[in-house]
Structure 1
């Protein structure tokens, strides 16, 4: 087995996606199209990278149940190298995503076995391998030590590291100052607009991107229908989104990260910003037009 270009550390889950025919109807019924698919932020990024031809290994945990075995088989068939530990007695993570008309979604998370990730689950890293760390790994006390250890080990080894802040609610609970201190060594930060503004206190997303670029070598901010921003030093680059009929935004950020990372690793961490943003936006566009993250 060849050494992976990217090692992804993050969650593996089953996504139960309910696309509602209208706004929720508390106390009553609402027709919906419901599908069960592979998900989890880490698994999504890894699957998209493999589809783009990037050699990738996924590190994470699943339950010792049929769901975990099925997700592992799906990811392996997609070309992802697996370093998944089956946790005895634990259930594989499950995310229920309620998608309203227009694509906005609310997620209910039972992370299951993902919370059992340990530092020794992460393999030894060496350049030119790149580490992508899902922020969800840091946002719960269970896997936090493993995530922080992976980040520190990758930086010490001289690897580049990308990090997705994951979600504004848990991020605020973690503590902004604490997050900024714990993740300062990441090379590439991949927030969405709300996360960038939360991390900086800036109202303007461009100002937020510049502020974060004072802490990290590169910051790429996904803006949904408005495209994406690249900030590095004093440079700020914007690319527009593709025109697409949005069905479900679940996993769009993961797809964006994978598209951008495919260009990042091909360019040995020195990509053309326009090419990197365009690749991320193009991959995200393939996701939002259908239900599910991949």
Structure 2
């Protein structure tokens, strides 16, 4: 294995309806329905496992068939799955409507169960052991604000690097109290704007805007436009490869986080790590699944040949 990573956060069911023709708002649209296990943390965890990492996943789950489906997917991916199971509750769900070009129309997130992942659960012996045994900690903003802060605090006490996935503009604000302790924050432009109250046209402004509110390192994606990344005073932009055949954009940001972290854990500099992340995201959007079922270190290396070099800003 290439390293150990502990992931805490969303592991639930993704339901996606894909519109077959042109989208007609306020009307019935012909299309197809598809569901699979998903969640920001869980998608990243499966990507990391496919790339050869030893992954432990901790998340709340209901005692229902959907929870069993998530557990089975974790086993298939080779993840050490350690859920908190609430037998009398349902597993969270994410329901999205996708246009025929793969872009999101609207989504509904039923994530009530995640509020039961309270900070005191981090004090359970096996959870403390999982923190102590890992090389890197990743969590997502599906978790409550005080739990996110407790995860970051525990990581800092142990001297472990920690990264976070923003999930959505509504949820990223939960990370405000602990932003300064997060080593790498993965977010899109809308989520970044929710943090700073601005959305600059000049991509080079993002490092200073986010740095002013305490973000020490981040990767801000902007769809098919240049992404921007920064850490320790070093900033860069990267044009992600543009795929002619986008199947579904679901999970692209999660795979970018996983690909970037995988490279960082192997000692790659930030400019190379984000190339790996962009390659992983490009492979994901070519698949109808939130995690490309064919992802492997070899396939990722092949996709890297289509990713240009990063442009250093400072």
Q: Please give the range of the TM-score, normalised by the shorter of the 2 chains.
A: 0.7 to 0.9
1:63 aligns with 2:62: yes
Question: Unpaired segments of 5 or more residues in structure 1?
Answer: 139-143
Q: How does 1:71-150 map to 2 (within 5 A)?
A: 71-105=70-104, 106-122=106-122, 123-124=127-128, 125-126=131-132, 129-138=135-144, 144-150=145-151
Question: 2:290 is matched with which residue: 281, 287, 293?
Answer: 293
Change (3 A) 1:128 1:35: closer
Q: How far apart are the structure 1 equivalents of 2:26 and 2:161?
A: 50
Shift of 1:75: 0.9
The Cα offsets for residues 109-150 of structure 1, whole Å up to 9 and x where unpaired, read as 112533321334442223762111101213xxxxx3332211
Q: Which has the higher contact order (CA 8 A, sep 6+)?
A: 1
Please tell me whether the aligned partners of residues 228 and 277 of structure 1 are also in contact (alpha carbons under 8 angstroms). Answer: no
The two structures, once aligned, show a CA RMSD in angstroms of 2.3
Q: How far apart are the structure 1 equivalents of 2:156 and 2:241?
A: 35
Q: How far apart are the structure 1 equivalents of 2:235 and 2:179?
A: 22
Q: How far apart are the structure 2 equivalents of 1:209 and 1:291?
A: 33
Q: How does 1:1-294 map to 2 (within 5 A)?
A: 5-26=4-25, 28-105=27-104, 106-122=106-122, 123-124=127-128, 125-126=131-132, 129-138=135-144, 144-171=145-172, 179-200=175-196, 201-203=198-200, 204-213=202-211, 215-244=214-243, 245-267=245-267, 271-294=268-291
Shift of 1:8: 0.8
Change (3 A) 1:187 1:137: same
Tell me the matched-pair count. Answer: 280
Please tell me whether the aligned partners of residues 58 and 81 of structure 1 are also in contact (alpha carbons under 8 angstroms). Answer: yes
Aligned to 1:141: none
Please tell me whether the aligned partners of residues 57 and 79 of structure 2 are also in contact (alpha carbons under 8 angstroms). Answer: yes
Q: Which secondary structure does the structure 2 equivalent of 1:220 belong to?
A: strand
Question: Unpaired segments of 5 or more residues in structure 2?
Answer: 292-314
